[in-house]
Structures are given as C-alpha cells and as structure tokens.
Amino acid sequence: MPRRPKTINKHRLADLFVLLLLAGLAASYCLDAVRASTDILNLILVLPVTVIVLVLCLIQLVLSVARLRSESTAQEPVTDMLPVISVFAAYVFSLRWVGFDVGTCLFIGVFLWLHGERRWGWLFGYSISFALALSMFFSKMLPYSMPMLILRTAS
Amino acid sequence: MIDVAAFFSAIEMLFSSASPWLIVIPGILIGLVFGAIPGLQISMAMAVFLPMTLYMDFMQAMLFLTAIFTGGSFGGSIPAILMNIPGTSSAIATAFDGYPMSQKGEHNVALGLALGASCTGVIVGYSILFLLINPISELVLKVGPAEMTIVILWGITLIGSLSSGSLLKGVISGLIGLLIGTIGYSEAGVTRGTFGSPYLLDGVSVIPAMIGMFAASELFRQANREYLVDDSAARKVSVRLILSGFRKALANPGIVLRGSLIGVFVGAVPGVGSSVANLLSYVVTKRNAMNPDSFGKGNPAGVIASESANSTSEAGSMATLLALGIPGGGATAVILAAFAMHNITGGPQFIREQTDVVYAIIIANFGQAILLIGLGLILIPLLANVIKVPMTYLVPSVLAMAVFGAFGLTGDLSGPLTVLVFSVLGWVFKRYGYSVPAAVIGVLLGGMAEDSVIYSYQISGGQWSYLLERPMALTILALLVVSLFGSKLVDVLMRRIRR
C-alpha cells in the first residue's frame, strides 16, 4: 500500500485558497447586490446562483481538504510566469501616460530582452516598427482617438 | 412554398451582368481581414464600409454587406485556430479544438476544416432559408423569454460537460462566469458589483474578457516555449493538407447538417445569434460523440461543429431581418441601416412584394460561399505562416494586438484592463483545474439569462403554470431533459431488456 505523504501539498493548498477566494467573491457580490436593492428584479438571478455556487464550493472544499496531502500533477513554476505577467500588467497600466505607441514599443522591447534577445537591431527594429504599424493602423481604423505620445502630434 | 417566377427573376437580376459580383470579392476580403484581426468585429467592418453602399443600388449594397458578413464569419476562425484568440465571439468554440490541433502541428488541417465547414454551412443555411423563410419567421415570433430562459438553462447545464477536469469545478466556473456577466446596472435601476469603478457600470466587456481568459492566459503559459509547434517539420504550411481538412469537413455531413440547423434556428432568434449557436452546436456534437473525452484536445469534429453553426447563423439572422425587419445582432443592424439608406423596410410586406430581391440575396450567398473557398485557399497559406514565428516575438505581438483590439471594442482603457484582469483569472483557472470555456460562456450568457428570467417573471406574474401554456417552451424543456439524461435512460432500458 503506497505511503501517504505527511506534508501538505503546496499546490493543493493554493487550490483550496483559490476555491475560498471564488466563494468569497461570489458571496461579496451577492451581498453588494442585496445592499443595493432587495427588489426581486435585482436578485432574481444573482441570489439563487450565488447560493448554488456556495453549496458547490462547500462540496468541493470537503473534497479538496480530503486530498490536501495527496500528490498533484506537475505545474510550471509560478516564478517562470511572474515576469511575463508583470511586464504585461505594467504595459496596460502605463498606457494612460505613455500612450499606445510608446507603451507598445517599450513592452515588446522589454519582453524580447527578458526572453534573451540581444541583437540590438532586432530588439529596436522590431519593437519600434511593430508598435508604429499597429498604432497607425488602429488609430486610422477606429472612430475614436487613442491615447498616443508621439503619434498624437504626428497625426 | 417557392415562388418560381420570383426565383427566375432573381436569377436574371444576379446574372444579367457582372456588376453585382464585382463588389463581392472585395467584400469577402474585407470580412476575412476584419474577422482575422482580434478586436475588429464584423459589425465594425460593415459599419465602416456602410457609407460606400450609398453609391450602390440596393442589390449591390446587400451583396457587398453580406459578403463582408460571410468573409468575417470564417475569418474569425483563423486566429482562434492559430493563436487561441477567437477573432469574433462566434469563433469561441472553434478555439476549443482548433488551437490544440495547431499545437499538435495540425494547423493546416484545422484551417481546412474550418473553411470547409463554413462554406458548406453557408450553403446549407441559405438553402434552409430559401425553403423555409416564412415558417422560420412565424416560429421566431413564438420564441418568448420563457423559451429563451430554458435555452440558456440548457446551455448552462451543459457547461459541466465542457469541462475536461472536475465536473464540479466546471459548473462552479460557469456559474461564476454567469455572475460576472450580470455585473453593472440591473433592471431594478441599481448598480451591483462595480466596486466603485465607472468602467463596470455597463458591465464587464465580454469580448475583452474572452480575449483575456482564452488568449492572454494561454500566451503567458506559452511564453517560455521556442515555437508554438515544437516539431519543425510540422510547422510547414501545406495547401495539400488544408485541402485534406476541407474534404474532411465535407466527409462529415451529419455534423455539418446538425450545426447548420442549430445555426439557422438559434441565429434567427434576435439577440442570441452566432456566439450561442457555435457553442450549442459544439456541446451537442460532443455529447453525441463516441469519444467525448477527446474534445478540447484537438478533435476535428469540434471545429466542424462550431464553424458550420456560426456561419449558418448568418442565414438565420437574415431570416429575421428579411421576414420581420428585426436585426438579430450588430451585423444585421448595419444591414438594416442599409435598408433605411435605400428607403426599404424589411418585414412580411417586403417578403411578399419583393420576393425576387429576397431570393437574389439568398442565391448570391451561395455564390459568396463558393468564392470564399477560392479566396480562403489563397489567403490561408499566407496567414498560417504565423506558426513559423518564434514565440519570443509572437507572444508580445499578439498580447499587444489583443490590447489594441480590446481598446477598439470599448473605446476606452476599460478594454485593456479587462484583458489584463481576465488573463490573470484565466491563468489561475487553468492552473487549478477550473474550466475557462465554461466561465467564458457564463460571462457571455449572464446578462441575457437575467433579462430572460425577469421578462418571464413579469409576463407570468410569478406563476409556474404559465409554462404549461407554452408548448414550445415545454418542447425545449423536454429536449433539455433528453439531452441530459437520454443516453443514460437508454442504457438503463437496454439493461432491463437484456435481463
């Protein structure tokens, strides 16, 4: 009979945390809806769906706790993903200030550099040309103005 | 049922000169390009080019706009298959199996399957419309909120079957998505779940959320790979393989026909359209398959089911527009605007008095489907080269395109922010075994589900007996029960008979 590992599996623990987070978000949304109005039109779908979500989360919680010490399938380390997610988040949050043209150029350049591109011609050439082409295409196609830093004055 | 004189008049209208067809090819190309670029919707393409139709006669204007519609319906499948970004919401289910096929180096076949299913779907859909335009329009009038509620309930209960991991987590994902889909203003005139953000007053933008959950989250996971397809031999773009995929789609007439029927009838219901049709067709095909576990891992039937339904729903939405003058979605709303620009009003009178024009529009779509085969076969090899781009370059480029596209959809920075939030959510969901497709379907149907439940409640006065007065609702309810428990019931009965 295989020996049961004594330590708690970190992935399973994180899984449990995600489950509790989802249940918490559903409950807080429902409470916010109740606080906004107890009118039946406001709660006719939100309330029953939230109750079902919480019941299902409770069942899943019991199952997850029982499996807390069992092995889980191999996952890529979170540390491998964090730089990509962080650079993308920085790109999106900076758009308001640096505009789509400069923001996109910086994002692509930093991403390429982080992933080992050291040929300066490719690094600068691709990030500048791609960002410019995309910014010009979308700014011409869309019926509303886009935040831009350089192309704003050019167009 | 068919007005023979009007039919021949339509043929003469279309083929007496080449001029009506000259604008079809550019129309299909515009649709293909707009459909293939995430964030640029078919309705956006039609709206941008709508002013051009002022210089055309009504017939040419209809051919041009429906050509964009036809091209765009297929164009959305290209990024769905190659990059896991559904170019339009109607290509969500195409990505379920199309992208895994690409990862296995079967991108050529997957693109051929999508092209074959789309073209045959358009032909089948418009054939159904040609034969049944009057009965379809009468049927559409009978679809009320109660029927819609049950259709959505059907979709939601089937969500669990889309989940490849834990069924429980699949249903939780779908319901969480459903709740997200109801964020913002409610029918009671209050706001919920906005956390004080003005961006959320109108709710979560569905397409940016979908791009984030499907594409961006997947790109995070793929960022450290060298190429999308590891095997260099499998990265080749082959017209022969695209054609073999095309033939494979034709070799599955059952799936195409089922998808087409779902597409026509679901597409005909205003406000539902192709995004629901392709999901429903996918789910029904998966449930009826001998190997349902292979879906989501690169099963060609998944691509055929999705593409045949989303392209056919164009015919369904045209039925509602022509017969009732009601646009089923954004694209048909633009066509309705073209009607108005040419002083024409759709509806029963239009069908009765200008049957030849209605037939001409239908017949022209057969021609468009055939032209799409040729144009698709020329363009796909060019677009499929994306598979040869190293991931170091592909990932930031596609993420940037997703951000631009999301801005294009919302017109402000809420689009890119939605992509970011949902990309992280999608990554967490995938990592811990929750179903991303189920959550996306939930977000997509959330608002519609709430509206339908509210209207049903208001009409019925809260009385369940109201359902008994709705034979169509009962029929759909019976179909729901059969689809959920039918196969198990048959198994139980067979076991008893054997005993």
pLDDT digits (tens, 9 = 90+) for A95-142: 999 999 999 999 999 999 999 888 999 999 999 999 999 999 888 878
State residue B247's pLDDT score: 92
ipTM of the complex: 0.91
pLDDT, tens digit, for every residue of A35-54? 999 999 899 999 999 999 99
- B473, part of any domain: no
pLDDT(B348) > 80: no
pLDDT, tens digit, for every residue of B302-315? 999 999 988 888 78
* Co-location of A50 and A90 in the same domain: no
What backbone phi and psi angles, to 5 degrees, belong to B185?
A: -65, 135
* Co-location of A102 and A48 in the same domain: no
* Co-location of A138 and A85 in the same domain: yes
Q: Which residues contact A18 (CB under 8 A, 6 or more apart)?
A: B428, B432, B434
State residue B167's pLDDT score: 76
- A72, part of any domain: no
A135 CB neighbours in chain B (<8 A) are 404
* pTM as predicted: 0.73
- A100, part of any domain: yes
Q: Predicted confidence band at B44 (pLDDT cuts at 50, 70, 90)?
A: low
Any CB–CB contact under 8 A between A108 and chain B?
yes
Q: Do B407 and A15 touch (CB under 8 A)?
A: no
* Co-location of A99 and A128 in the same domain: yes
Looking at B143-181, list the stretches that DSSP marks H as alpha helix, in order from N- to C-terminal side. 145-162, 167-180
Token pair recorded at residue A26: 């559903």
Residues B103-112, mean pLDDT to the nearest whole number: 89
* Co-location of A83 and A150 in the same domain: yes
- A138, part of any domain: yes
- Count of structural domains within chain B: 1
B34 CB neighbours in chain A (<8 A) are none
If you count residue pairs, one on A and one on B, with CB atoms under 8 Å apart, how many are there?
154
Of the residues A40, A66, A92, which one is the last residue of a structural domain? A66
- A40, part of any domain: yes
* Co-location of A28 and A96 in the same domain: no
Q: Predicted confidence band at A155 (pLDDT cuts at 50, 70, 90)?
A: very low
Q: Which of A12, A22, A34 to mutate to test the interface with B (most CBs of B within 10 A)?
A: A22
Cβ atoms A128, A112 nearer than 8 A: no
Domain range spanning residue B78?
A: 4-462
- Of B445, B231, B173, the C-alpha closest to A25 is B173
* Co-location of A149 and A83 in the same domain: yes
- A1, part of any domain: no
- A73, part of any domain: no
- B204, part of any domain: yes
State residue B50's pLDDT score: 79
pLDDT(B41) > 50: yes
d(CA A93, CA A108): 15
Query: Percentage of chain B with pLDDT > 90?
Result: 14
Domain range spanning residue A104?
A: 78-154
A85 CB neighbours in chain B (<8 A) are 220, 423-424, 427
Amino acid at B358: V
Q: Report DSSP letters for B293-310, one per residue.
A: GGTTSS-HHHHHHHHHHH
B359 or B52: which carries more pLDDT confidence? Answer: B359
State residue B225's pLDDT score: 79
Q: Which of B403, B422, B436, B443 to mutate to test the interface with A (most CBs of A within 10 A)?
A: B403
- Count of structural domains within chain A: 2
Residue located via tokens 């089922």: B258
pLDDT(A20) > 90: yes
Query: B346: alpha, beta or left, given left = phi > 0 and alpha = psi -120 to 50?
Result: beta
A87 or B45: which carries more pLDDT confidence? Answer: A87
Dihedral sign of CA atoms B328, A144, B215, B430 in order: negative
- B467, part of any domain: no
Of the residues A46, A66, A86, which one is the last residue of a structural domain? A66
